[in-house]
Amino acid sequence: MNRIATLACMLPKAELHLHIEGTLEPELAFRLAERHGVAMPWPDVEALRAAYDFSDLQSFLDLYYAGANVLRTEEDFYDLTHAYLVHAHADNLRHVEIFFDPQTHTERGVAFEDVLGGIRRALLEAEREWGISFKVIMSFLRHLSEADALATLDEARPYLHRIDGVGLDSSEMGHPPSKFARVFAECRELGLPVVAHAGEEGPPEYIEEALDLLRVKRIDHGVRALESDALMDRLAAEQIPLTVCPLSNVKLKVYDDLSAHGLRKMLAHGVKVTINSDDPAYFGGYVNDNFVACVEALALTEEEVIKLARNSIEASWLEAARRDALLAEVDATVAQWRAR
Ligand code: ADE
Ligand code: ZN
C-alpha cells in the first residue's frame, strides 16, 4: 500500500452513509438462514457472492431486499450490526451514522422494537468497548407510497427518542423527493434532521428538490450534481455535505470505472465531499477499502485524504465538543504519520 493510502487508513474518520442491511455478508446470511430454518435461493456462500453482479441500482435492490429475509429477531439485528462495527473499529471509524429501513422488516411481520433494539444494543456496546459514537437514521423506501411512509412514521412514534434523523432511499428514478415533501415536513416538525439519497441515478433536479422541498442537511450520493455548474456552485457556497460512495457507484454502473469518478473534481470545486461504503457486503469493501481504491484510481493527495477525513467529522451530527475532539485526533494522527 502506498504511503497516502496508509495515512487514509490510519486517520480517525466518520461514516455517514451506511445501510445496516447492506452489511449482511453471505456467511452471516447463511448462518441466520440456518438459525431460522429458512431455505436460501443459492446453494452456498460462493454462489451468493457470485450473484453480486449488478447492472444498475434496481438489480442490486432486488437482491438486497431478498437477502434481508433472513433478518428476523432482535439477535439477528444485533449480530448484523456487531459484525459491521468490528469492521468500523478496524477502519478507525470513531463515529457512525447508520440507516435502517423499517419497512423492509415490518412488512414481513418483524417488530419495529426488535429491529431498532438489536441495532442499538450493538451500537451501545461498541460505544462502551471502542469509543465509537453513533446516530441512527430511519429511512423511508421511496418506491412505496407517501401513505406507507406516514404509517411508518406513526409506528415509529414510540421510538423517536432513539432515532436521530430520517432518510430516503431505494429506487430513485420515478420517485422524486417531491413525493415525500409532506412526510418530511412532518419529520422536521418533530425535530428530526433529514437527509435523502439524490443524484445517484436521478438527475440534478432531484438534488435541488431534496434541498428546497425536503430541506435536507446532507445529500446522499449527489454525484450527478457534476452535470450542473450552477448546482455545483451552490453545493460549494452552502457547504452542503455529500455522502459519496465510490465503490458503490462502480458496482451499480454509475461510473464504468473508478478512475472516471467525479470525487476529485468535486473536492477541487470546494464541495464538502465524504467517502462512505453504502452497502459494503455487496459492493466490495468497507470505508478503508473505499479510501484505498480512490487513492489508487484517482491519485488522491495527502491534503485531499486529510480533507476527506475532516469533512466526514464536520458533516456529522456530532455535538460540538466531540466533533472538535475528533478533529484534534485527525491532527494528531497526521503529525504522527509525518514524523515516521
Ligand atoms: N438502499 C441501500 N443502498 C442504496 C443505494 N445505494 N441507493 C438507494 N437505496 C439504497
Ligand atoms: Zn445508500
CATH code for position 73: 3.20.20.140
Mutate to test the pocket of ligand 1, among 20, 60, 224, 251 (most ligand atoms within 8 A of CB): 60
pLDDT at residue number 180: 99
Considering its fold, how many domains does the chain have in total?
1
Catalytic residue among 74, 97, 200, 201: 200
pLDDT at 184: 98
DSSP letters spanning 225-238 = GGG-HHHHHHHHHH
With a Cβ cut-off of 6 Å, ligand 1 is lined by 19, 22, 57, 64, 169-170, 197, 200, 248, 278-279
Query: Atom 4 of ligand 1 has which residue's CA nearest to it?
Result: 170
Q: Could you give phi then psi for residue 242, rounded to 5 degrees?
A: -115, 130
Condensed to tens digits (0 to 9), the pLDDT of residues 123-159 reads 999 999 999 999 999 999 999 999 999 999 999 999 9
Give me the half-sphere count of Cα atoms (radius 13 Å) on the Cβ side of residue 147.
Answer: 0
Task: Please give the grid coordinates belonging to residue 89.
Answer: 473499529
- Centre of ligand 1 from the C-alpha of residue 188, in Å: 22
**Active site annotation includes 155:** no
Range of the domain at 97: 3-339
pLDDT the model gives residue 35: 98
Which positions of the chain have pLDDT values less than 50? none
The predicted pLDDT at position 1 comes to 84
Q: Is 19 annotated as a binding residue?
A: yes
What is the C-alpha to C-alpha distance for residues 235 and 222, in angstroms, rounded to an integer? 10
